[in-house]
Amino acid sequence: MYTHNQLQQIANELRIDIIKAISRAKSGHPGGSLSAIDILVYLFFNEIKRTKENALDPDRHRFVLSKGHGVPALYAILARIGLISYEELMNLRVLGSRTQGHPSYLDLPYVEASTGSLGQGLSVAIGMALTAKIDKKSYRVYCMTGDGETQEGQIWEAILSAPKFNLDNLCVILDYNKSQIDGFTKDVMDLEPLKAKLEAFKWNVLEIDGHNFAEIENAFNIAREANGKPTYIIAHTIKGKGVSFMEDNVEWHGKAPNEKETELALQELQKLLVKNG
Partner 1 sequence: MGKSTRLAFGETIAQLGEVNSNIVVLDADLSKSTMSSLFAKKFPERFFEMGIQEANMIGVSAGLALSGKIAYACSFACFITGRYDTIRISVAYTKANVRIIGTHAGIGIGEDGTTQMGLEDVSLMRSLPNFSVCQPCDEIETRELIKYSVEHNGPMYIRLTRQNVDKIFDDNYKFKFGKGVQLTDGNDAVIFATGALVAEAFKASNILKEKGYSLRVVNIHTIKPIDKEIIIKSAKECKLIFTAEDHNIIGGLGSAVAEVLSENYPAKIIRIGLPDVFGESGTPEALYKKYGFDAESLASRIETQLKQS
In whole angstroms, how close is the CB of 13 to ligand TPP at the nearest point? 21
25 contact partners, CB below 8 Å, separation of at least 6: 92, 93, 94, 101, 256
Distance CA 74, CA 114 (A): 13
196 contact partners, CB below 8 Å, separation of at least 6: none
Residue 101 interacting with ligand TPP (CB under 6 A): no
- Number of Cβ within a 10 Å radius of residue 259: 8
Site for partner 1 in 118-147 (CB under 8 A): 118-119
Nearer to ligand TPP, 67 or 241 (CB): 67
Tell me which stretch binds partner 1 (CB under 8 A): 7-15, 108-116, 199-207, 210-218. 108-116
Residue 181 interacting with ligand TPP (CB under 6 A): yes
Q: Determine phi and psi for 149, rounding to 5 degrees.
A: -55, -30
In whole angstroms, how close is the CB of 238 to partner 1 at the nearest point? 20
Q: Which long-range contacts (CB under 8 A, 24 or more apart) does 178-184 make?
A: 178/147, 178/239, 178/248, 179/31, 179/147, 179/148, 179/239, 179/248, 179/250, 179/253, 180/146, 180/147, 180/148, 180/250, 180/253, 181/148, 181/250, 181/253, 181/254, 182/250, 183/250, 184/250
Q: Pick from 151, 161, 166, 212: which binds partner 1 (CB under 8 A)? A: 151
Residue 146 interacting with ligand TPP (CB under 6 A): yes
Binding partner of 263, given ligand TPP, partner 1, none, CB within 5-8 angstroms per partner class? none
95 contact partners, CB below 8 Å, separation of at least 6: none
Please count the residues of this chain forming the interface with ligand TPP, following the rule CB under 6 A: 22
Residue 70 interacting with partner 1 (CB under 8 A): no
Nearer to ligand TPP, 20 or 239 (CB): 239
Residue 93 interacting with ligand TPP (CB under 6 A): no
* Binding site residues, ligand TPP, CB under 6 A: 29, 31-32, 35, 67, 69-70, 116-119, 146-149, 175, 177, 179-181, 239, 253
- Per CB under 8 A, residues contacting partner 1 are 25-28, 68, 93-97, 100-102, 104, 114-119, 148-149, 151-153, 180-183, 187-189
